[in-house]
Copies of this chain bind each other. A is one copy, B any other.
Amino acid sequence: MSDHPVSGLEPPYYTVVFTSLRTEDQEGYADTAARMEELVREVPGFLGYESARTPGGIGITVGYFKDEEAIAAWRADAEHQGAMRRGRADWYERYSVHVGRVERSYGFARG
């Protein structure tokens, strides 16, 4: 029942926190999101992600990356840049991105 290291994530690493509120226009969103998930897995230094969304409310996605280089590579991806432009044009009412260097993490799992 005590806290333990987070499996697969050895500090230091980075969290990219993306919080967003969507518009009513979600045409094409799901396909693009699925494609982005496929693409980001190819980025060297991408360590995983988690995502949650309250129906009718905000969504939070946390990407885990090994270093700044991995984040920069993902940001520079041409297809990702196109998706971000489309997101600003159509899908997002607002969003925030917070890039943090993690020096400490821990977890708990039952049983």
Q: Which residues of A contact B (CB under 8 A)?
A: 1, 6, 9, 14-15, 17, 19, 23, 50-55, 57-60, 62, 64, 88-89, 92-110
Residues on B with beta carbons closer than 8 Å to the beta carbon of A106: 96-97
State whether A105 and B101 are in contact (beta carbons under 8 Å apart), knowing that A52-B57, A53-B52 are contacts in the complex. Answer: no
Q: 26 A–B contact pairs at CB < 8 A?
A: A6-B96, A14-B100, A15-B15, A15-B98, A15-B100, A17-B62, A19-B50, A19-B52, A19-B62, A51-B54, A52-B57, A52-B59, A54-B54, A62-B62, A64-B98, A92-B108, A92-B110, A94-B108, A94-B110, A96-B107, A97-B106, A97-B107, A98-B102, A99-B102, A100-B100, A100-B102
